[in-house]
Structure 1
Amino acid sequence: MRHDEIWRAIDTLAAERGLSPSALARQAGLDATSFNPSKRRTADGKLRWPSTESIAKILDATGAKLEHFSALVNGARAIPEARAKGRSRLPLIGMAQAGAEGFFDDGGYPAGAGWDEVELPTVADVHAYALSISGESMLPVYRPGDTIIVSPAAPVRQGDRVVVRTQDEAVMAKLLLRRTAGQIELGSLNPDYPDLRFSARAVLWMHRIVWASQ
């Protein structure tokens, strides 16, 4: 059971109920910042784990069973089919815009008024959004102008195609090559572009690509 798996399960539990992590904390009677990404590591980079009391409170507040939460920790489907409330209209911005301030909140969810909308296949994640690809680092799989759907709630594993935001406000679509407690390695599908390595602290969030236009 890893640090990132526990936090992913909390994020997923929130998304299943149409909540941000901050809203889930408030619903459970906790400080609204308890589950913020910035609180998941100390100032010197040490891992900060959620307390058993805070987990017990969010399970009680949501009515979720411990078995369900454990399944989320182990990588179960982000949102069970029976609970899914799909959407066919998703917020959309260009990849080049995504690094600017105001388009995402602290949890990495779409925010602000600058988003357009696009009609796309139904996606269960209530926080899903769409990006328009720019650049050539993901050729030939994703071409400039292609639209991808990104799910913050979907579990991310090695080999997944992901959208990543770094501390220097860069947003990029890459392939997750390797992730450890201290380092994240990302690959470009286009061999003309180099692979990238970041410290785990340098990556604010990483969301899985679940669909792309062809």
Structure 2
Amino acid sequence: METEHAEHFPPRQQNFFPLSQVSGADRIPLMSETLHDRIRKRLKDLNLTPGAASRKADLSKEMLRKLLANPDAMPSGKSLTALAGALEVTEQWLLSGGEIVPAVKSDVRAASPTPPMRHEMPNDVPVRGTAAGSHLRGAFQMTADPVDYARRPPTLTNVVNLYSLYVEGTSMEPQYGPGDLIFIHPDKPARIGDAVVVQCQIDPEGHIEATIGILSRRSAEKVTIRKHNPPAEIDLPRETVISIHKVLTNNEIYGV
């Protein structure tokens, strides 16, 4: 009976080069990737600016920008935890990376199985200005850039274009009082009887004012809203109306 003999091969010659002699094209990308690189990747994946990510993490607005500007800087443990949450990755991935890159998340966030604590709610709802309660010249003072950010209620996790406003004046009491924060859903159709924010162009130069009221009637000629204090109805010429946005009720905000 023949005996099988294992074949033996001479050891393969291996060449080692100092890392400084290896060209950039020959480097293994993951070996040279840093925490700063991974942060930049997640900012791009999530379409966030450093300032927006810092605010989302409840850190100072300039924290992340300063960190990225200094390749030798490292965040504190508390800041690392906050950044990981804002960038939707683990702290371990930020520190060391890995073969599996976290999936890019869309604007629709996954619902949590348990209600988050207040400090866990994202502070990412832009406050666009204030709402004045005048009957005649209604005007919200609305800005293109947010004047502040409000915490996002858990039931509004999936609302991409959500914004908020502070109420001033007393024309909508007792429903809304001075200082109340209201949440506006611009993509949810407003029905008769809903509280709404109506934006209007008030002059040929394009200046815009907005007012809050109860949507009473609308036609091709005008939009009519109702005020509470004192009771009154205001007609807004339809050709001046730019948008009618629904103000969310407490039931819609808290999921009652």
For normalisation by structure 1, the TM-score amounts to: 0.50
State the one-letter code of the partner of 2:190. Answer: V
Q: What percent identity do the matched residue pairs reach?
A: 28
2:223 is aligned with 1:187:
no
- In 2, are the aligned partners of 1:136 and 1:144 still within 8 Å (CA)? yes
Equivalence for 1:9: none
Shift of 1:204: 1.1
Give the count of matched residue pairs.
121
* In structure 1, distance between residues paired with 2:171 and 2:108: 33
**Contact 1:99–1:165 (CA under 8 A) maintained in structure 2:** no
2:193 aligned with 1:159: yes
Alignment of 1:47-196 (within 5 A): 84-85=108-109, 88=122, 89-92=124-127, 93-96=129-132, 98-99=140-141, 103=143, 111-112=144-145, 114-122=146-154, 123=156, 124-168=158-202, 169-190=208-229, 192-196=230-234
Deviation at 1:155, TM superposition (A): 0.8
Following TM superposition, by how much is the alpha carbon of 1:94 offset from its aligned partner in structure 2, in angstroms? 2.0
Q: Which residue of 1 aligns with 2:70?
A: none
Structure 1 or 2, whichever has the larger Rg, is 2
The yes-or-no answer on 1:210 pairing with 2:230 is no
Contact kept? 1:125, 1:152, Cα under 8 Å:
no
Offset of residue 133 of structure 1: 0.5
Structure scoring higher RCO (CA < 8 A, sep ≥ 6) equals: 1
Misfit runs of 4+, over 4 Å: none
Structure 2: runs of 5+ lacking an equivalent: 1-106, 111-120, 133-138, 203-207
Any conservation in 1 of the 2:173–2:228 contact (CA below 8 Å)? yes
Change beyond 3 A, Cα 1:91–1:182 = same
Cα deviation code 1:79-103 (max 9, x no counterpart): xxxx944884301132258435xx2
Gaps of 5+ in 1: 1-82, 104-110
Cα-Cα RMSD = 2.6
Equivalent residues of 1:150, 1:211 under 8 A apart? no
Are positions 1:201 and 2:239 aligned together? yes
Cα distance in 2 for partners of 1:188, 1:196 equals 8
1:181 Cα deviation from its structure 2 partner: 1.9
